[in-house]
Structure formats: C-alpha cells, structure tokens
C-alpha cells in the first residue's frame, strides 16, 4: 500500500508524529485493541502511556493508532488513550473489514494488527510494535478461521515487531501460511519461533538476524525491488518474564475447551 493524501476528516497525524516523519526520525506505530480489549481500566491506559514513554526514551517517536469519532488518528493524546481505556469493550474492535464502516459512522474504534498496519502505511510509518500477531486458529482446517492480520502482512509494507503469534493459535499452520504468501518471519537473535509468553516453540523462523541494521537493510531491499508486503520480526519475551511452555500449553488447552463449550469463535477468541 502506498501513501495517500487523505483529508483531515479521514486521517489526522499528531504534530509530534508529523515532525518526526518530516525530519526522518524513527517512528514506531502502536495498536489500540490492547488498550480497549486487553486490560481493565486504568491499567490499560497507564500501560499504553508507559509504552509510549519507553519508546521516547529509546530515541524514537510513538504513534498509537485508533479511530476517534470516525477519524483515523496517528498519535493519540493522553485524553484519547484514557477514553479508549475507560470505554473498554464498548469500543469497536476494528480490522480491515470493519474500518470503512466505523469511520463512516463516526464511531470510536480500536485497531487490530491489520488495521494498524493499514493506517500506519497511509501515514508513511514503516515499523509497528505489538505483543503478538493473529494467525491461523486451531481447527482452521475445518473452520477456515484465519486472522486478517496474515493477509495484511502479505500485502502491506509495514514491518511488525512482536513476540511471535498469540499462543492460543496454531503456530505451525501460521508459519506455513506466512511462507505461502512470501512473508519473511525473522527471528531477532533467535532461530526458534517465540510463542508470545514463551521464548521458544517447536517451530523455526525463516531466517535469524542479529541486529537492527540487518533488518533495516532487508526491509529496504525488499520494498525497493517491488516485493510488496510486510515482514515479521519475532523478538522473544525477556527471559525474566517468560513462562514454561508446558504451563502455558496446559492453560491454553483448558481455555480452548471452554471457548468451544461456550461457542466463542472468530475475533472474540483472541
């Protein structure tokens, strides 16, 4: 997706982010579903603000993305972050399919990986950090339940830095899907695919790169040669915060069984 000139009625970029883009400073896009749907208030808003401050301390500019009153916003104010946190699940969870309707209706929307990538690309932002991408759900060979995140990665020129795919997903089928659509799955200083809460999984990444410079060079070559689509940079959770695979897998098996009993499917399962 190339940059487009959109009216302020559709897309607004904060002054901080505009200045960073104009002066070629590093900008990191952030999603907003984690704020509205990931944690209770006020921890959700506090965490989002802390993440932004961490990025600033590392010399980059954060660009939290959401839809506020029908406007795609790139770079939120503290008040807008708190609004999303306070409203919680009353805020619409927006992926590619939902985006035009939430904007057209003038509603508030929290962006998933897919819609954050779309809006980041419209703003000219090339790097997006998140906890974990969506992927192929367990049992997808019967349900065809596959996250729109994967198709966005196949088409949109944004690099997504994450701790792997969400643990509840079928990681093996997710890696196969990414391979089929030519999406590089880069392990940052690791050959094993991290699994969100865990530093490793039974699956490998497609290539290991050990520095940001190597990754940036790969991004540039990919897009300069017309190979459209994103890249996934899988950066394992720090060791002191990681959990044993057997503990997580037992909890996931129980959660999946309960979800099936309660008829929880699709985007509600993640």
More confident residue, 266 or 43: 43
End-of-domain residue from the set 130, 163, 191: 130
- Phi/psi zone of residue 123: left (φ > 0), alpha (ψ -120 to 50 degrees), beta? alpha
87 lies in the same domain as 103: yes
**Would residue 189 count as lying in a domain?**
yes
Domain tally, the chain = 2
Q: What is the pLDDT of residues 10-20, one digit of tens each?
A: 999 999 999 99
- CB contact at 8 A, 153 and 160: yes
- CB contact at 8 A, 160 and 130: yes
pTM of the model: 0.91
Burial class (CB in 10 A: 0-12, 13-18, 19+), 99: buried
144 lies in the same domain as 237: yes
Q: What is the pLDDT of residues 159-187, one digit of tens each?
A: 999 999 987 889 999 999 999 999 999 99
pLDDT at 37: 97
156 lies in the same domain as 183: yes
Q: Is 31 a catalytic residue?
A: yes
pLDDT at 17: 99
pLDDT at 267: 58
pLDDT over 90 for what percent of the chain? 81
Q: Is 25 a catalytic residue?
A: no
83 lies in the same domain as 192: no
pLDDT at 194: 95
229 lies in the same domain as 218: yes
Chain centroid, CA 100 distance in Å: 19
95 lies in the same domain as 15: yes
Of 93, 126, 166, 222, the active-site residue reads 166
Structure tokens given for 85: 């946190």
Burial class (CB in 10 A: 0-12, 13-18, 19+), 251: middle
- The residue range of the domain holding 244 is 132-264
Q: What is the pLDDT of residues 70-88, one digit of tens each?
A: 999 999 999 999 999 999 9
Tell me the pLDDT band of 261, cut-offs 50, 70 and 90.
Answer: confident
Whether 58 shows a pLDDT value over 60: the answer reads: yes
164 lies in the same domain as 244: yes
**Would residue 238 count as lying in a domain?**
yes
Region 252-267 average pLDDT: 76
**Would residue 270 count as lying in a domain?**
no
The CATH number covering residue 79 comes to 3.40.1790.10
Whether 93 shows a pLDDT value over 80: the answer reads: yes
Q: How far apart are CA 100 and CA 24, in angstroms?
A: 30
- CB contact at 8 A, 178 and 185: yes
**Would residue 237 count as lying in a domain?**
yes
Q: What is the mean pLDDT of the chain?
A: 94
Q: What is the pLDDT of residues 215-252, one digit of tens each?
A: 999 999 999 999 999 999 999 999 999 988 888 878 88
Of 31, 80, 82, 152, the active-site residue reads 31
End-of-domain residue from the set 84, 114, 130: 130
104 lies in the same domain as 12: yes
């Amino acid at each position: 997706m190339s940059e487009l000139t959109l009216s302020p009625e559709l897309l607004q970029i904060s002054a901080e982010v505009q200045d960073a883009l104009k002066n070629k400073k590093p900008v990191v896009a952030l999603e907003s579903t984690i704020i509205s749907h990931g944690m209770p208030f006020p921890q959700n808003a506090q965490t989002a603000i802390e993440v932004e401050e961490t990025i600033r301390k590392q010399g980059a500019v954060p660009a939290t993305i959401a839809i506020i009153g029908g406007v795609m916003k790139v770079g939120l104010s503290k008040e807008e972050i708190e609004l999303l946190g306070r409203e919680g699940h009353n805020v619409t969870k927006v992926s590619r399919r939902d985006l035009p309707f939430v904007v057209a209706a003038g509603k508030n929307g929290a962006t998933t990986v897919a819609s954050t990538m779309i809006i980041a690309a419209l703003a000219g932002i090339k790097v997006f950090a998140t906890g974990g991408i969506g992927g192929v759900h367990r049992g997808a060979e019967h349900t065809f339940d596959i996250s729109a995140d994967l198709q966005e990665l196949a088409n949109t020129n944004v690099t997504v830095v994450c701790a792997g795919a969400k643990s509840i997903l079928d990681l093996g089928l997710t890696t196969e899907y990414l391979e089929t659509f030519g999406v590089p799955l880069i392990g940052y200083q690791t050959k094993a695919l991290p699994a969100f809460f865990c530093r490793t999984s039974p699956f490998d990444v497609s290539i290991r790169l050990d520095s940001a410079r190597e990754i940036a060079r790969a991004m540039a070559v990919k897009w300069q040669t017309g190979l459209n689509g994103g890249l996934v940079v899988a950066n394992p959770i720090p060791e002191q915060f990681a959990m044993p695979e057997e503990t997580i897998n037992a909890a996931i098996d129980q959660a999946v069984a309960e979800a099936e009993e309660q008829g929880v499917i699709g985007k509600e399962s993640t």
